[in-house]
C-alpha cells in the first residue's frame, strides 16, 4: 500500500533530481514535457499538470507470458506476473481531470491502478482512495517526450 512521501524528499534531493532530469522537470517542480504510454502513442498528461514527488509504493508490474517446453517437446504458454516494484520517482496529479487520457482499474482494497485508456497497458500508476484525490504516475512506467515536442 501507499506510504507517506520518502524522508529524503528534501531541497537537496530535489535539486539533484532537477539537475539529472532537467529535460523533464521544470524549475517549479512540474513536468515540462508531455507524458505518453510506453506501448502506444496515447497522450496521458500535458506539461505543467504533474508535480515531482518521491513516493514509496508497491506497484504490480505488467503481466506477461512465458513459454515452457515439457519433456515431449510440446510447449505451454502460461501467464505470469512479475514481482512488485518499489517506486521512487513519480508525478503527482492533484486532480484526475488534469489527465488527457487515463483509465482506472477496479478498486483493490483502497487503491485504483492507473492504466492506458487506449491500449490498457499498465499499471502505470495508482490512486489511493483513502489518501485524497491525488494520483501518481511512475516514471518507470511511462514515456516522456523530448522537451521540444
The mean pLDDT of the chain is 82
State which H helix or E strand residue 105 sits in. strand 103-108
Tally of domains within the chain: 1
Q: Considering the domain boundaries, does residue 60 fall inside one?
A: yes
Q: Considering the domain boundaries, does residue 6 fall inside one?
A: no
Q: Considering the domain boundaries, does residue 2 fall inside one?
A: no
Domain with 50, as residue range(s), is 11-144
The tens digit of pLDDT for each residue in 46-81 reads 999 999 998 888 888 765 545 556 666 666 555 444
CATH number of residue 120's parent domain:
2.170.150.10
Whole-model pTM over 0.95: no
| Nearest alpha-carbon partner for 136 in 6, 11, 16 | 6
Among the residue ranges 37-41, 42-46, 81-85, 134-138, the one predicted with the least confidence is 81-85
Amino acid at each position: 500500500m501507499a506510504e507517506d512521501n520518502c524522508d529524503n524528499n528534501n531541497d537537496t534531493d530535489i535539486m539533484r533530481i532537477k539537475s539529472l532530469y532537467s529535460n523533464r522537470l521544470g524549475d517549479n517542480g512540474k513536468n515540462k514535457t508531455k507524458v505518453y504510454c510506453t506501448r502506444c502513442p496515447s497522450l496521458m498528461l500535458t506539461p505543467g499538470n504533474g508535480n515531482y514527488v518521491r513516493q514509496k509504493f508497491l506497484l504490480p508490474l505488467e503481466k506477461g507470458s512465458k513459454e515452457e517446453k515439457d519433456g515431449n517437446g510440446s510447449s505451454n504458454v502460461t501467464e505470469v506476473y512479475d514481482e512488485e516494484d518499489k517506486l521512487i520517482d513519480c508525478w503527482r496529479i492533484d486532480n484526475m481531470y488534469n489527465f488527457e487520457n487515463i483509465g482506472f482499474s477496479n478498486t483493490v482494497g483502497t487503491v485504483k491502478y492507473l492504466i492506458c485508456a487506449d491500449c490498457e497497458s499498465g499499471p502505470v500508476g495508482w490512486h489511493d482512495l483513502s489518501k485524497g484525490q491525488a494520483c501518481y504516475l511512475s516514471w518507470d512506467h511511462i514515456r516522456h517526450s523530448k522537451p521540444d515536442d
